[in-house]
Chains A and B, each alone.
Chain A
């Protein structure tokens, strides 16, 4: 860990300004990802602005949906009565992410901004464009990674986004509310928050420097059943090999791309009357096939079809 300075933000705008004005500064909330990465010398901020104690930790009813504060921790969000009532897919996604200890610290905004679990990103002796732009992607020709992206990857990066929560939020059509350094707030859809890697995999979101996620806005729950299913190496906790969130006619996939992946082809096919298996096939036909991801593509397709099928038997009260 490199030496750094720390300040506890008095209010949101001063926090945003402090980070915007200092290229070495980062926000700190739960710290479950950032502090680990600092210890490993992967993240090297020179200044931390603690936003974890700003008053953004509530849930309020807004227009038939919910507004969730960015600093609300994952375990509280998963246990919130209104969230349990309206968004079972979000609850399932939250509790299938990380461990109980981590969920007690990790925040809603921080969860969205967590970084990839690609093993080569974590090993500082290996090239990684995300960690050291221009150094190359070790994963591309590396030991087969169960978490590798199969949609929207580039020669520069095949890492996937590890969040479960973000997959459910994408299926639910949620958006984030941010505070920008000018003091203005803006809203953008969760599915537009993260970027595909392209040539700049180190740039992971469309947030401006210093822009702070203050809330997540959940629209009213869609008609139809909600399902979240995650495939992982063990039952207790593990980063997903693949996941799928279904909310009515909307479907998102996890651990398959640099961002939570809105399965538009599945949605279109379902709307056109395709069976779940046919719809899944329509999406997987667009995957980036390589000589080593055929199994993952098959797995995601089966998983998506099964989850859509299951969603037909579920109804939100």
Chain B
């Protein structure tokens, strides 16, 4: 196993002679996407015209199907197949793994008469057209035997238990320190269920060739989807060829597969022709996962100078009975501020709702909404600037583990952000700044998010025309992965971008873990870098061993790769000339990355600081963004443009979290009330006025050979709290219940006599 020390030596990426690392290179696949010619899973060319599937879904939250009548659907025009639990093909039992190495277990559909959540798939229709399939599905008659379920989170808080296998973290003596602290904050913050609302709903096109199935599907993790389908259908995983070339947003919601994958494959097998199936927008809300509601109690005890002596962050959240998942909303707080006496932990309510799961920085995104407001509240009690309070609690080492930080520039992020944003314009006394009918305020919050490296492989080949092709079972969920992998490969090989092709999203390619947890760029990129380094070795061997090469005889250790050439001082030739002559069939090598054995000796995170300015309508309580600015420190930045897009996108989701995004359960029905994007409001262009972000110079040589870290989730972490703090600064009304809709803000203003 490698050590982080192995990564400290200069290499082609850190030397960056071609200047491609950090450059704001345009999207590799941008032209395809904006011209509509990048085929998504539902749009791929199948070997013959696909039949179209449609799912019928459950109208109750819990119980069983007492009677189902599909006769009218079967007789409906164009219908090819109708399945319910009575006649669906046999599948492996839920949660089982025939192959213990499968990354995902069996996930059967239509397996019994049981209903475990509203919106569960209860029937499947395939027809010649989408309209015929949907019309037929609407003719299916179902009688339910409903049972009472646990669907109301707030009413069920007393059922919260320790998540399986987890313990609270106690350091020092929190109760005593809190009791002794002269200044305290004890507040509870609520955040609601949120939905991912990816632009592309989950979708699959499937066809069979003998006993092997090809599926194009929209999923963040190639191997997970391949294994889930193989386990469910009880076939070897190498009989499943899964492709996911273009993905219209994931946000964590496509980290797993759904019924579309299983049913399209089963339908295609039964009909002997390609079948495609997509969730409707409405079906996405119950048919896929959501971020659970979180109730967080924060208790802070401080000395008059602002030093924290007591620190407790406790989260209660929920998940589905059949899919245990904990939103680890308190975890981030273990690494953020110094305090000798600490308590952090989670409680979980198991409910009869659809599955809860990861969404846009799981843990930090809802978690930071609490602590970063509590710090604002504490700063006011202490008469301190919120930035100064955070600086006074900046730890020298990780406050929970005592490990050294790999790199930590949180204070620099806050200071630079304050200077560039104009934080000195903020009136620390709330409710003072008016602009016409608006009250104007500013808020800030810190950002922290872990950095991870997982095992991955990559393959790279060079052909006789000099084109270098990277192949990896990686995904690009709209983040820029194609682009940064092309940059890494081009820089490693010393060739221009035009000489590099990237092919991914294919289970036949060397595996990478996919997109999630902001580990994608570091993980896939490091494997791509390693493959490139191995190709350099292979081409060096080829050149110095070829009597017809000007590099013949070496010395190999002086070989350089620049400008498309392989060279030893003034002896050089193009890579294309070398390969065409010495290896006309091309050269293919693989590379890999795995976490360093001593990586866990360091506390390793990405950091940032958010600044927000809002206007609050004094008549209506409407909050409108005026300005938002973020400063981030996340290792070496691969691409200035895509990285900025990542963090500003996260900040925009933070605005959604603070102001609009919420789904509410109607406890009478156990279903979410919002089932479309007219009801579930996400920020659009007019909601974001002046938004910008910068990155600090940084390289983290404990992270991976390239010194990069993830940026995919950092931008949302803390962003909503900065907005909430700005609302308080504007109005003097402190809200602790997200999102801060006009009605909640108005309610607070009325109570305050505004």
Q: Footprint of B on A, CB under 8 Å? A: 1-3, 39-41, 117, 119, 122-123, 125-126, 138, 141-143, 146, 231-239, 241-242, 295-296, 298-299, 302-303, 306
Question: B619 and A146: CB pair below 8 A?
Answer: no
A-B pairs, top 7 by smallest CB distance, nearest first, are A236-B684, A125-B59, A236-B686, A306-B619, A231-B620, A235-B686, A143-B673
B450 at the A interface (CB under 8 A): no
- Hey, which chain B residues are within 8 Å of A122, CB to CB? 675-676, 679
- Chain B: residues with Cβ within 8 Å of the partner, total of 40
Question: B742 and A241: CB pair below 8 A?
Answer: yes
B743 at the A interface (CB under 8 A): yes
Choose among A1, A39, A141, A236 the residue that contacts B683 (Cβ–Cβ < 8 A): A236
**C-alpha gap A231/B135 in the complex (Å):** 37
Closest to B743 in A: A295
Question: A1 and B134: CB pair below 8 A?
Answer: yes
Given contact pairs A2-B138, A302-B619, A302-B746, a sample of 19 additional A-B residue pairs in the complex whose CB atoms are under 8 Å apart: A117-B678, A119-B679, A122-B679, A123-B675, A125-B669, A138-B668, A231-B742, A232-B622, A234-B659, A236-B684, A236-B685, A238-B678, A239-B678, A242-B620, A295-B750, A298-B746, A299-B621, A303-B620, A306-B619
B11 at the A interface (CB under 8 A): no
Question: B77 and A119: CB pair below 8 A?
Answer: no
**C-alpha gap A142/B669 in the complex (Å):** 10
- Hey, which chain B residues are within 8 Å of A233, CB to CB? 659-660, 681, 741-742
Closest to B131 in A: A1
Residues A299 and B660 in contact in the complex (CB < 8 Å), given A234-B684, A236-B685: no
CB distance from B55 to the nearest CB of A (A): 14
- Hey, which chain B residues are within 8 Å of A235, CB to CB? 624, 686-687
Residues A295 and B747 in contact in the complex (CB < 8 Å), given A122-B675, A125-B671, A233-B741: yes
CB distance from A209 to the nearest CB of B (A): 25
- Hey, which chain A residues are within 8 Å of B668, CB to CB? 138, 141-142
- Encode B610-632 as 1/0 by CB contact (under 8 A) with A: 00000000011110100000000
Choose among B138, B673, B681, B747 the residue that contacts A41 (Cβ–Cβ < 8 A): B138
B32 at the A interface (CB under 8 A): no
B581 at the A interface (CB under 8 A): no
Question: B683 and A234: CB pair below 8 A?
Answer: yes
- In the complex, the number of residue pairs spanning A and B with C-beta atoms less than 8 Å apart equals 91
B666 at the A interface (CB under 8 A): yes
Closest to B747 in A: A295
CB distance from A41 to the nearest CB of B (A): 5
**C-alpha gap A232/B679 in the complex (Å):** 11
Choose among A39, A143, A238, A241 the residue that contacts B666 (Cβ–Cβ < 8 A): A143
**C-alpha gap A237/B619 in the complex (Å):** 19
- Hey, which chain B residues are within 8 Å of A299, CB to CB? 620-621, 742-743, 746
Choose among A2, A236, A237, A295 the residue that contacts B746 (Cβ–Cβ < 8 A): A295
B282 at the A interface (CB under 8 A): yes
- Hey, which chain B residues are within 8 Å of A40, CB to CB? 282
**C-alpha gap A3/B684 in the complex (Å):** 35
Closest to A2 in B: B135
B170 at the A interface (CB under 8 A): no
**C-alpha gap A225/B679 in the complex (Å):** 33
- Hey, which chain B residues are within 8 Å of A232, CB to CB? 622, 742
Question: B622 and A231: CB pair below 8 A?
Answer: yes
Question: A123 and B671: CB pair below 8 A?
Answer: yes
- Hey, which chain A residues are within 8 Å of B686, CB to CB? 234-237
CB distance from B663 to the nearest CB of A (A): 10
**C-alpha gap A125/B665 in the complex (Å):** 14
CB distance from B463 to the nearest CB of A (A): 45
7 of the cross-chain contacts (CB-CB < 8 Å) are A3-B77, A3-B135, A122-B675, A138-B666, A143-B666, A236-B683, A303-B619
